Amino acid sequence: MPIIDNNAMSIKAKNLGISLSPDQLAQLEQYAQLLVEWNTRMNLTGITDGEGIMTRHFEDSLALLSYVSVPEGAKIIDVGTGAGFPGMVLKIARPDLHLTLLDSLHKRLVFLEEVARTIGLELRTLHLRAEEGGKIPAFREQFDIACARAVSNLRELAEYCLPYVRVGGQFVSMKGPDAGEELHSARPAIGTLGGKVSSVNEYSISDGSGRTIIVVEKCKSTPSQFPRPSAKISKKPL
């Protein structure tokens, strides 16, 4: 029995200005099935009902495409991807994207690799801590967009994510409704790391929950001393 309602999912996407084909809706259904199945063996999500998955995972992830200009063929890294949100959903909606999913927990990446194989997506997974990957030349300043959803305080998150972004690229932070204070305290850190806030987008998803997408433009290279070890980032945020 299907977990998600394809008609309802299609409407949610259309309300964001996104058209999903029958094949893409089928991929989302397979993703939902695997998410629920694997969640019985490991903790991937506390949301396992069809409506919740459609709204709070799929619709919420797709919203990025409504508020961020994502170039054709963009290289995107989803930092701290967890169960694949927003990265996996973005790849389903935009197969042209070159997606990297980064997470520190290997078993999550095993799940995401299984999803990708099952639904026919080409992507890369990285089993690294965010601050480690940002120091590796193969990944440092190599992406058009680094995104993160519901991960860490923005002041700390900027230090984890901005090192991955090329100059001229974007760091996209997907937050809840009360991001104003977080953003205010994070602005100096963002500047130090080579970024500048270009837009703050407040909106609601279809269940009425408030959301904020903060877009940071990468204006200059991140100084070589960043990112610092995670203990320093948390104890002495910029």
Q: In a structure prediction context, what are the per-residue pLDDT tens digits for the chain, which is 238 residues long? A: 899 999 999 999 999 999 999 999 999 999 999 999 999 999 999 999 999 999 999 999 999 999 999 999 999 999 999 999 999 999 999 999 999 999 999 999 999 999 999 999 999 999 999 999 999 999 999 999 999 997 789 999 999 999 999 999 999 999 999 898 899 999 999 999 999 999 999 999 999 999 999 999 999 999 999 999 999 999 999 9
8 Å CB contact between 123 and 115: no
Is the domain covering 6-235 a CATH 3.40.50.150 domain?
Answer: yes
Distance between CA atoms of residues 61 and 53, nearest Å: 11
Residue 15: partners with Cβ closer than 8 Å, 6 or more residues away: 206
Distance between CA atoms of residues 14 and 21, nearest Å: 11
